[in-house]
C-alpha cells in the first residue's frame, strides 16, 4: 500500500520545490546554446506530430492546420502516434501521414518525437499519460501544445512543473488547451476586471453543470488494461475525474482573474447516475475554494440529468459584477458587452495561431505552469470531496500518493498490456476511498 499522507511539517512549497528541482539545474547548461537552434528552427516549416488520436487529438490536428494557414506559415502534420494501432492508422489517413511515420504502442510517443525536423508536438492522450509525454517532448526540444488537464494527482503535477521550468530554460513555446485564455471576449473582459471596472473581487463562481450523464463507451478490449484505456474517462488514474477533465476550464478562468491559485478547499460530491456502470468517477461535485487573500470561489460541476444546466463563470466585485466571457455590469451603471468582431476565430484555432506566432516571431508564450496550477486546483477539490476533509495546496502537491502505475510518472514506453494486476491503480474499493481519503485522515467533528 502506498503512503497516502504527507507530513505537513516537511511539506515543500511550490516555489521551494521548483527552486530546488534537480531537473532544472541539470538542464541549465544545455539551454545556453538553444536560442540559436530555435532561431534556425523558425526558418523552417512548422512540422507537427500528434500523440493521441482520439476525438480531441484529431480535432487539435485540424485546428493546427487551419491555424497555420491563418498565420501564413507552412504547417504540416508529419507523424502520428497512439497506443492503439487502429487509432494511429485512422489518424494517419486523416492527415495523410505515411505508414513509416505512423506509430502505435506504449513507446509510440518516443518514436514520433524522434522523427527528423519535428518542431511542434500536440499531446492529446488521456491525461494520465501527459506527465511522461510532456517531459519527453521538452527533453527532445519540441515546442508543445498539450491538452488539459495535464495530470491526475500531485506526483504528476510535480513532473509537469519540473518540465515546465526546463522548457523555459530552453526557450520552448508551450500552449495549453485552456482555450478561453485565447478567446477575445474573455481576454477583453478579464482585462477590464483587472483594470478595476467592478472594483475589488469579492467572490467567484464556476459552473460546469451539464444536463445529462457522462458518456460511457462500454467494455471494449481483450485485457482489463485495454478496456480501461479505451473507456478512459471513467477511471481516475486516466482522467482525474470530470472535475479535472472538464471543470478545469472554469477553474482556470477564476485563477486567471485572481492571478493566483487557491490555497485550500473543502466540499462534497457523489456518484449517483453512474451506478451499475464500470469505472469509478463521480458525477457531481460542489467545492468551496479559498485564495491567499481570503476571496472565496464556489465551484459546482455535475453530469446528471436535470432541467437546468450551465457552463459558465461569474465574478462579484465591490463595484459591480461580471460574466467574464463578455459582460460587465457596474453598480448603477450601464452594462458593457463584448461585441464579437468579424475577425474573431474559434479559440480552438486561435490558441494554435498564438503558439505558431510565438515560435516564428520568438515572442514569449509558455502556459505550462498556469495549466498545471489549474489542474492541481481541480485535483485539490476532488480530494476534498472524496475525503470529506479540508485540503491544502501544499499537501496535495507534495503527496506521495499516485493513482497510476509508477511507470507513468517516469517513462511509460516500457508498459505492457498485461498482466494488469501489476499495473492496476488503486480502486475505491481497495483503498476505501469512500471511508478513508487517499491523502488525509478523516476530518474529525
Where residue 306 falls (left for φ over 0; alpha for ψ -120 to 50; beta otherwise) is beta
Using CA atoms, how far residue 397 sits from 148, 177, 371, 434, in Å, is 18, 22, 14, 21
Structure confidence by residue, pLDDT tens digits, 79-134: 999 999 999 999 999 999 999 999 999 999 999 999 999 999 999 999 999 999 99
Point out which residues pair with 285 in neighbouring strands: 269, 301
Instruction: Find the distance separating the first CA and the last CA of the chain, reported in whole Å.
Output: 27
> Could you give the CA distance from residue 409 to residue 135 in angstroms, rounded to a whole number?
9
- Least Cα distance to 253 among 349, 145, 377 occurs for 377
427 pLDDT higher than 60: no
Domain count, the chain: 2
The CATH number given to whatever domain includes residue 53 is 3.40.50.720
The residue that leads in pLDDT, 5 or 224, is 224
Same domain, 18 and 151: yes
Per-residue pLDDT tens digits for 313-337: 999 999 999 999 999 999 999 999 9
- Say how far apart CA 385 and CA 268 lie, in whole Å: 4
120 and 17 in a common domain? yes
pLDDT of 41 > 50? The answer is no
Residue 305, phi then psi, degrees to nearest 5: -65, 130
Would you say residue 204 lies in a domain? yes
Reported as a pLDDT band with limits 50, 70 and 90, residue 430 is: very low
What does residue 128 show for φ and ψ, rounded to 5 degrees? Answer: -60, -20
Distance CA(120)–CA(328), nearest Å, equals 37
Q: Is 445 a domain residue? A: no
Instruction: Answer yes or no: do 400 and 316 share one domain.
Output: yes
**Letter string b/e over residues 257-287, b meaning 16 or more CB atoms within 10 A of that residue's CB:** bbeebbebbbbebbbebbeeeebbbbbbbbb
Write down which residue in 333, 367, 401 finishes a domain.
Answer: 367
- Angstrom distances, CA of residue 230 to CA of 86, 220, 291: 12, 7, 37
Q: What is the mean pLDDT of the chain?
A: 86
Shared-domain flag, residues 196 and 158: no
Report the alpha-carbon distance of residue 309 to residue 396 in Å, rounded. 30
**Predicted pLDDT at 97:** 98
Dmax over CA atoms of the chain, in Å, equals 66
User: Does the pLDDT value for residue 72 go beyond 70?
Assistant: yes
Residues 267 and 391 occupy one common structural domain: yes
Q: Is residue 439 part of a domain?
A: no
Tell me: do 41 and 139 sit in the same domain: yes
Q: How far is CA 30 from CA 37, 40, 113, 170, 411, in A?
A: 12, 17, 19, 8, 21
pLDDT on residue 343: 74
Select from 313, 332, 367 the last residue of a domain.
Answer: 367
As a whole number of angstroms, the distance between CA 292 and CA 271 comes to 31
139 and 168 share a domain?
A: yes
Q: Which residues pair with 121 in a beta bridge?
A: 49, 144
**Contact (CB, 8 A) for 264 and 290:** yes
Do 309 and 211 belong to one domain? yes
Which grid coordinates belong to 277? 456502470
CATH at 204: 3.30.360.10
Same domain, 49 and 76: yes
H/E stretch holding 120 = strand 120-123
Quick check: is 30 in a domain?
yes
- Measured CA to CA, the distance from residue 127 to residue 229 in angstroms comes to 11
> Tell me: the pLDDT tens digits for 13-28?
443 433 344 343 434 3
Predicted confidence band of residue 404 (pLDDT cuts 50, 70, 90): confident
C-alpha–C-alpha distance, residues 34 and 170, integer Å: 6
Span 179-189, mean pLDDT?
97
Domain holding 134, by residue range, is 8-180+348-367
% of the chain at pLDDT higher than 90: 70
What is d(CA 200, CA 238) in angstroms, rounded to the nearest whole number? 38
Domain match, 336 and 279 both: yes
* 259 part of a folded domain: yes
Q: What is the pLDDT of residue 69?
A: 95
CA–CA distance, 21 with 43 (Å, rounded to integer):
33
Does residue 353 share a domain with residue 295?
no
Of 198, 398, 144, the closest CA to residue 318 belongs to 198
Q: Residue 31 pLDDT more than 60? A: no
Q: Answer yes or no: is 2 within a domain.
A: no
pLDDT at residue 199 in the model:
98
- Which helix (H) or strand (E) element contains residue 60? helix 55-70
Predicted confidence (pLDDT) at residue 433 exceeds the cutoff of 80: no
CB 428 within 8 A of CB 279: no
Shared domain check, 153 and 217: no
Residue 185 lies in a domain: no
pLDDT at 6 over 70: no
In a domain, 254, yes or no: yes
State residue 44's pLDDT score: 65
Cell numbers describing residue 203: 467572490
Predicted confidence at residue 277, as pLDDT, reads: 81
Amino acid at each position: 500500500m502506498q503512503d497516502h499522507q504527507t507530513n505537513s511539517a516537511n511539506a515543500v512549497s511550490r516555489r521551494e520545490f521548483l527552486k530546488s528541482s534537480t531537473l532544472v539545474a541539470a538542464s541549465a547548461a544545455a539551454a545556453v546554446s538553444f536560442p540559436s537552434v530555435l532561431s534556425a528552427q523558425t526558418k523552417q516549416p512548422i512540422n507537427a506530430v500528434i500523440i493521441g488520436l482520439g476525438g480531441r487529438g484529431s480535432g487539435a490536428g485540424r485546428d493546427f492546420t487551419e491555424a497555420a494557414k491563418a498565420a501564413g506559415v507552412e504547417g504540416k502534420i508529419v507523424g502520428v502516434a497512439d497506443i492503439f494501432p487502429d487509432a494511429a492508422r485512422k489518424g494517419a489517413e486523416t492527415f495523410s501521414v505515411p505508414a513509416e511515420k505512423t506509430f502505435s504502442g506504449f513507446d509510440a510517443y518516443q518514436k514520433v518525437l524522434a522523427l527528423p525536423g519535428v518542431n511542434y508536438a500536440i499531446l492529446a492522450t488521456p491525461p494520465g499519460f501527459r506527465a511522461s509525454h510532456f517531459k519527453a517532448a521538452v527533453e527532445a526540444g519540441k515546442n508543445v501544445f498539450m491538452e488539459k488537464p495535464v495530470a491526475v494527482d500531485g506526483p504528476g503535477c510535480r513532473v509537469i512543473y519540473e518540465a515546465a521550468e526546463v522548457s523555459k530554460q530552453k526557450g520552448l513555446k508551450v500552449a495549453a488547451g485552456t482555450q478561453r485564455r485565447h478567446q477575445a471576449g474573455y481576454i477583453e473582459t478579464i482585462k477590464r476586471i483587472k483594470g478595476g471596472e467592478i472594483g475589488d473581487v469579492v467572490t467567484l463562481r464556476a459552473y460546469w453543470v451539464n444536463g445529462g450523464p457522462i458518456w460511457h463507451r462500454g467494455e471494449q478490449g481483450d485485457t482489463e488494461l485495454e478496456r480501461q484505456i479505451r473507456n478512459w474517462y471513467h477511471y481516475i488514474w486516466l482522467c482525474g475525474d470530470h472535475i479535472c477533465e472538464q471543470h478545469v476550464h472554469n477553474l482556470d478562468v477564476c485563477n486567471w482573474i485572481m492571478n493566483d491559485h487557491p490555497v485550500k478547499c473543502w466540499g462534497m460530491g457523489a456518484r449517483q447516475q453512474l451506478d451499475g456502470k464500470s469505472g469509478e468517477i463521480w458525477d457531481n461535485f460542489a467545492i468551496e475554494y479559498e485564495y491567499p487573500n481570503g476571496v472565496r470561489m464556489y465551484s459546482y460541476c455535475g453530469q446528471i440529468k436535470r432541467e437546468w444546466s450551465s457552463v459558465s463563470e461569474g465574478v462579484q466585485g465591490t463595484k459591480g459584477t461580471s460574466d467574464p466571457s463578455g459582460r460587465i455590469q457596474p453598480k448603477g451603471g450601464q452594462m458593457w458587452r463584448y461585441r464579437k468582431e468579424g475577425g474573431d476565430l474559434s479559440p480552438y484555432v486561435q490558441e494554435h495561431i498564438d503558439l505558431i506566432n510565438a515560435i516564428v516571431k520568438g515572442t514569449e508564450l509558455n502556459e505550462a505552469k498556469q495549466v498545471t496550477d489549474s489542474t492541481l486546483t481541480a485535483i485539490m477539490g476532488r480530494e476534498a470531496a472524496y475525503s470529506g476533509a479540508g485540503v491544502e495546496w501544499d499537501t496535495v502537491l507534495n503527496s506521495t500518493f499516485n493513482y497510476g502505475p509508477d511507470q507513468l510518472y517516469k517513462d511509460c514506453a516500457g508498459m505492457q498490456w498485461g498482466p494488469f494486476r501489476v499495473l492496476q491503480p488503486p480502486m475505491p474499493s481497495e483503498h476505501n476511498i469512500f471511508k478513508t481519503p487517499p491523502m488525509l485522515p478523516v476530518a474529525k467533528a
